[in-house]
Amino acid sequence: MLSMIGLIGGLFLLIFLTMRGMNLLIVGPLSALFVAVFSGLPLFPQLVGEGEANLVGSYMTGFSGFVTSWYLMFLLGAIFGKVMEDSGAADSVSQFIVSKFGMKYAVLAVVAACAILTYGGVSLFVVAFSVYPMALSLFKQANLPRRFIPATLAFGSVTFTMTSAGSPEIQNWIPIQYLNTSPYAGWEVSLIVALFMAIFGYWWLKRMISKAVSKGETFASRENDPSSKDRVLPSPLLGAIPLIVVLVISYIFHDSLKQSALIVALLGGVITAYVLNRKYFENFWEALSEGTIGALIAIGNTAAVVGFGGVAKAVPAFTQAVEFMTSIPGSPLIGGAIAVSVIAGMTGSASGGQAIALPILAPHYLDMGVNTEALHRVVSISSGALDSLPHNGYVVTTIRAVCGESHQDAYNAVGALTVIVPALGVILAIVLFSLGLGI
């Protein structure tokens, strides 16, 4: 009982302290300590036998293991994003999309810009920073409440694109190493689910904004509002080619290199962006430096919550919870979806949740003969649901650092679109796979 109290209490502490603005690199170990103390887990390796679980060892194993597996992907992803940003390629693509949609469809234009950049392999964080100035300008001109900008950015970035078949985001690639699948696993179902999430989520977003406007909410300007840089940009075609290169290379090499194909694809994207747009760069080497720092921060924040998950995994309550979830009657896809979603929620990270859950769940479900294509897609989509609780690194960064809003004002809309909509998408995917579609 105490172990379960510690596990649940540690998760709530993780969420609470994050919402209070504390750094995840501090909150992760502190919350893990709470879990360990209530579960009676020894604190240091010196207090236990070799190989036995302890707070420091379990935390650092989870932390370092995630860094070892995904550092190069994070590094090249962040560098690619900064190169696209510094060359103006990301802005060029975004502005082209906005110009085609027009002011009447301001919200749709922002969503589409985020979706195309994300599916093209640009880091979620870079997409938020890149599109935000245009989103701010559009919301101001349309006189829409600015507290919905974080939800608009998040909806276009982390829902129907991040976990869809073919996406170069790591949330779609992590299952490959455990299930021996491809990033295009279950693409038929993925396409239907993505269309559902896009259409339903956009309708819900527009409804929330319209309801707020009908109550008298308008755009409120601030003195420190950023503005788009007045600079010469490459053509939208030159800006889009590096995105296409990432998708094409990842498709060509995904069978032979598996998740390592993403390294080759992102490197190809960086080289292409430099070759085609080198005259538009403000400071290429500074972009590389900033991308590297950004990668370290992003993977550090994610690894911090994976470390928390590593400690949670070592306590008795976690084993009990996993046994309960994996023994849920009915389709194994249901148990897999619930388990991955819950663990992703505990860690506040879709990628971190998969990295913790799949080594445990994959052998169990593969022994049961579950279709790997279906399991890959369900796991990927479900990881993008409860991961977006308030303590999620992307959520915190987008709401507070990028948009300058508070969780109190902005999170309800963010949570609706990034938790509930993907959860409905998971249900739809399970139903479709159960009917035999895509299998």
* pLDDT tens-digit map of 283-313: 888 888 988 887 888 778 778 877 887 888 8
Residue 374, pLDDT > 90, answer yes
What was the pLDDT predicted at 117?
81
- Report percent pLDDT > 90 for the chain: 28
The contacts of residue 21 (CB under 8 Å, 6+ apart) are 400
What was the pLDDT predicted at 131?
80
Separation CA 147–CA 219 (nearest Å): 9
Q: What is the mean pLDDT of residues 393-409?
A: 81
pLDDT band at 229 (very low <50, low <70, confident <90, very high): low
What was the pLDDT predicted at 236?
87
Residue 168, pLDDT > 70, answer yes
Q: What is the mean pLDDT of residues 94-108?
A: 78
Average pLDDT, the chain: 85
Q: What is the mean pLDDT of residues 47-59?
A: 85
- Three-state secondary-structure class, residue 181: coil
Residue 362, pLDDT > 80, answer yes
**Is the Cα torsion angle 105, 110, 113, 119 positive or negative in sign?**
negative
What was the pLDDT predicted at 228?
52
pTM above 0.85, yes or no: no
Residues 363-367: contacts with CB under 8 Å, at least 24 apart: 364/326, 365/326, 365/332, 365/335, 365/336, 366/179
What was the pLDDT predicted at 275?
92
Q: Which of 127-141, 230-244, 274-288 has the lowest mean pLDDT?
A: 127-141
* Ordered alpha helix ranges (H), 327-436: 332-347, 350-367, 372-383, 393-396, 407-415, 421-434
pLDDT band at 331 (very low <50, low <70, confident <90, very high): confident
What was the pLDDT predicted at 134?
75
Residue 404, pLDDT > 70, answer yes
Residue 419, pLDDT > 80, answer yes
Q: What is the mean pLDDT of residues 328-337?
A: 80
pLDDT band at 418 (very low <50, low <70, confident <90, very high): very high
Phi, psi of 285 (to 5 degrees): -70, -35
What was the pLDDT predicted at 68?
87
Q: What is the mean pLDDT of residues 120-141?
A: 76
Residue 322, pLDDT > 80, answer no
From 354, 365, 336, 398, select the one nearest 169 (Cα to Cα). Answer: 354
- Report percent pLDDT > 70 for the chain: 93
Q: How many residues does the chain have?
A: 439
Q: Which of 23-32, 188-197, 289-298 has the lowest mean pLDDT?
A: 289-298
Residue 121, pLDDT > 80, answer no
What was the pLDDT predicted at 145?
94
Separation CA 406–CA 242 (nearest Å): 35
Instruction: Give residue limits of the domains in the chain.
Output: 2-41+53-434
Residue 380 CB-half CA count within 13 A? 40
Given the structure tokens 């600079």, which residue do they identify? Answer: 231
Most confident of 9-13, 19-23, 97-101, 392-396: 9-13
Residue 153, pLDDT > 90, answer yes
Separation CA 19–CA 263 (nearest Å): 33
pLDDT band at 353 (very low <50, low <70, confident <90, very high): confident
pLDDT band at 46 (very low <50, low <70, confident <90, very high): confident
Q: Which position has the higher pLDDT, 120 or 152?
A: 152
Residue 258, pLDDT > 70, answer no
Q: Which of 100-104, 325-329, 399-403 has the lowest mean pLDDT?
A: 325-329
* pLDDT tens-digit map of 176-187: 989 989 899 999
What was the pLDDT predicted at 224?
63
